[in-house]
Structure 1
Amino acid sequence: MLQNPSFKKTRIAPTPSGYLHLGNALSFALTAAMARRAGASILLRIDDLDRQRVQPAFVQDIFDTLNFLEIPWDEGPRDAAQFEKEYSQVHRMPQYAAALMRLEDKNAVFACNCSRSQVAAEGGEAYLGTCLLKSIPLETPEVNWRVYTSADRPLRMKKWPYNSVEARLPATMQYFVVRKKDGYPSYQLASVVDDHHYGVDLVVRGEDLYDSTLAQLYLATLLQDQPFLNTTFYHHPLLKKEGEMKLSKSASDTSIQYWRKEGKTAADVYTMIAGMLGHKEPVSDWEDLGALLLPG
């Protein structure tokens, strides 16, 4: 049997836009288990650039949830106060601005003043390039910056543990946003910059973010970010409720906070997660869950 490859660092990267749910717990547990296998350290990186949705209670819930589930991390804030003072993404705004300037210098971006409702009406989940030829100045207030993309450009993704695949940018990610109308960087850009900044070389995320991974690889190609292009990715299956609906932070009955208040233990939560994925045996901790679910 082949040995698992080794990595330097992975990350847990929750967004404080709601109370964390069972799907987040699954991702955290698999990240910790893969880090243990690969000899990697774990960074806690909280993605808080969606300033309109971030709330102090949601930030605190991240620490409460990780401690309740006994998920370890080696780098990053130990509590909400330290996060705000030292680790919030707002402290890295100059780095995001530098990346955006590089894209501007390469003539790789264009301005778009379309609203979300307009994009949805015209193309559903896909942006059809409405503003491609409008030549809207990038300095125009309240415009998105979108990337010029090509559906034909090949992208190489390194997949955990041993193989790589060639893919193309999907329709839903054509002309994706790198700077939002409020002037803040998009998730795609901030994620690439942050992973490079912290030296992350292994990323564990849900399979719903597969298209985002391709967008980030495309962006890393434009930025000539070789470390990010060499990152290895693992996209794990999602937990779903009845009717095959993806779990949501707005559904209180799937939140870790809810189950804590109901008196459940961490082992109860891990066993619940395993059951939702078709495994009936009890699971005591994140290591057991990782051994049960991870390939290899």
Structure 2
Amino acid sequence: MTVRTRFAPSPTGYLHLGGARTALYSWAYARHFGGTFILRIEDTDLERSTPEAVQAILDGMKWLGLDHDEGPFYQMQRMDRYREVILTMIEQGTAYLCYCSPEEVEAMRERMRAAGEKPRYDGTWRPEPGKALPPTPAGVKPVVRFKNPLDGEVTWNDVVKGPITISNRELDDLVIARPDGTPTYNFCVAIDDWDMGITHVLRGDDHVNNTPRQINILRALGAPLPEYGHLPMILGADGEKLSKRHGAVSVMEYPEQGYLPEAMLNYLARLGWSHGNDEIFSMEQFTEWFDLDHLTRSPAQFNAEKLAWLNNHYIRQADNERLAKLALPRMAADGADFHRAPDLAAVLGLMKERVNTINELADAAMLFYRAPNPDQALLDKHLTDAVRPALQDFAARIQTVEWNPAAIAVMIKEVLAAHGLKMPQLAMPLRLIITGQLQTPAIDAVLALFGREVVLARLAKFI
């Protein structure tokens, strides 16, 4: 059997973290077995589906690198196929026309609620041997209902939750086509999974109640059943369902905030699955290790600090030229002046150890790309009469010193020794004069990147 998985979002909003995790697991399972990963857009909700949401899903998948082998398929482009199956089911007696109005169906449910029963459609138009159906009302467009089994149970061995059994008496005759002929969600999903040969369905556990309906439709059609696995939801740190107040935003907001896709993938992979104590791993390792046996049954909790920690790791591992491409537009928008400035990739290589996001990295690097504007109170504190002779000596020596961090570091030690000073006494005013701030990486590395001419010019303004 060739493994065939799918990710099938509804384009009624952005691609969120839960959806991205589902896509990742489905993608990884297919990749693990050399199978096929399919992208399907379930866009039959015409009132809520938007082209912008479709594009957000495609952009999110592309950013994460979750490449699909087939698709994207759009349900609205498969209407002829759905109608064909519905007609066949009506002919075979597994579906039927129902002329009840929505008001009549709601009245049925109200009567059942009043009687302490589960509200459901009462089968008024369900054809049974020897049963007389009501007269067909004129001018009423019927819905099509699936003739759900009245007795027995639907049981499946959920690959995440274990065996699940639901009585058919809990399920009423599902509407599979609306009065205008548009098929409904559960019907389309069942037909798509059948036509596309899906072998494994991984999705959120909010779909558990849909599964028995889809299984019964597939059985009525004589279609094979995929294996189902329902992933527990992702919670915020407070144990509540993840929402915008927890930072549950569109996946495409994370690159805007300065996160790398490999950090997000690594984080999502561990948000409901584990491989021993391994915390950091590549996608190659993940697809090699990934299985369904180690998916957790309990909800996972989103931890922004853990994601930031992983992002720091991947920033430190990243190629500096790649970081430069990501940081440059952010810095340009912030007014960075790149004329006769240090090489950006080299600067980011110096700064990247201490930051958690590309945005933080761009902010940190700005000290090399804007004129320094040191606070006068700090200058008065650190640029004292006692340190001025050392700064003058330093300015004289840098005109001939070999221009690299190691040689500059040796020269600084010589100046300190000659004037009886400690490193902070010289480094602090140097940082203020050259960069305008007190906190920077090692002063010798910073000076080397600025270049001899810039350092001399800035020193000349103060000594």
**TM-score for both structures, normalised by structure 1:** 0.76
* Richer in helix (by share): 2
DSSP-derived class of the 2:102 partner? coil
Q: How does 1:150-169 map to 2 (within 5 A)?
A: 150=149, 152-157=151-156, 159-160=158-159, 165=163, 167-169=165-167
Q: Would you say the 8 A contact 1:18–1:249 is kept in 2?
A: no
Relative distance call for 1:144 and 1:28 in structure 2 (3 A) is: same
Letter in 1 for 2:45: D
- Indicate whether 1:113 and 2:101 are aligned: yes
- Indicate whether 1:34 and 2:29 are aligned: yes
- Indicate whether 1:103 and 2:95 are aligned: no
Q: Would you say the 8 A contact 2:97–2:142 is kept in 1?
A: no
**TM-score for both structures, normalised by structure 2:** 0.51
After TM superposition, the structure 1 stretch with the greater mean CA deviation from structure 2, 98-107 or 267-276, is 267-276
Task: Give the one of 19, 24, 31 matched to 2:19.
Answer: 24
Q: Would you say the 8 A contact 1:68–1:266 is kept in 2?
A: yes
Relative distance call for 1:148 and 1:245 in structure 2 (3 A) is: farther
Report the RMSD for the aligned CA atoms in angstroms: 3.9
Relative distance call for 1:219 and 1:29 in structure 2 (3 A) is: same
- Indicate whether 1:145 and 2:144 are aligned: yes
DSSP-derived class of the 1:45 partner? strand
Question: Larger relative contact order (C-alpha < 8 A, sep ≥ 6)?
Answer: 1
After TM superposition, the structure 1 stretch with the greater mean CA deviation from structure 2, 65-74 or 199-208, is 199-208
Task: Give the one of 241, 248, 251 matched to 1:253.
Answer: 248
Instruction: Name the structure 1 match of 2:38.
Output: 43
Distance in structure 1 (CA, Å) of the matches to 2:89 and 2:138: 14
Instruction: Name the structure 2 match of 1:269.
Output: 264
Unaligned segments of structure 2, at least 5 residues:
126-132, 295-463
Distance in structure 2 (CA, Å) of the matches to 1:169 and 1:215: 11
Instruction: Name the structure 2 match of 1:218.
Output: 216
Q: Number of aligned pairs?
A: 278
How big is the shift at 1:187?
1.1
Relative distance call for 1:164 and 1:267 in structure 2 (3 A) is: closer
Identity of aligned residues (%): 25
After TM superposition, the structure 1 stretch with the greater mean CA deviation from structure 2, 186-195 or 18-27, is 186-195
DSSP-derived class of the 1:203 partner? strand
After TM superposition, the structure 1 stretch with the greater mean CA deviation from structure 2, 20-29 or 243-252, is 243-252
Letter in 1 for 2:67: P
Distance in structure 2 (CA, Å) of the matches to 1:41 and 1:262: 32
Letter in 2 for 1:194: D
Q: How does 1:1-296 map to 2 (within 5 A)?
A: 6-77=1-72, 87-107=73-93, 108-111=95-98, 112-114=100-102, 118=106, 122=110, 127-130=119-122, 132=124, 135=134, 137=136, 141=140, 143-150=142-149, 152-157=151-156, 159-160=158-159, 165=163, 167-169=165-167, 173-225=171-223, 227=224, 229=225, 231-241=226-236, 245-247=240-242, 253-270=248-265, 272-273=267-268, 277=272, 282-283=279-280, 291=289, 294-295=292-293
Distance in structure 2 (CA, Å) of the matches to 1:142 and 1:251: 45
The structure having more radius of gyration, on CA atoms, is 2
Unaligned segments of structure 1, at least 5 residues:
1-5, 78-86
After superposition, the C-alpha distances for 1:78-125 in whole angstroms (9 at most, x for unaligned) are xxxxxxxxx42222111101111122223333424226994897378x
Distance in structure 1 (CA, Å) of the matches to 2:291 and 2:219: 32
Q: Would you say the 8 A contact 2:203–2:230 is kept in 1?
A: yes
DSSP-derived class of the 1:93 partner? helix
Q: Would you say the 8 A contact 1:20–1:65 is kept in 2?
A: yes
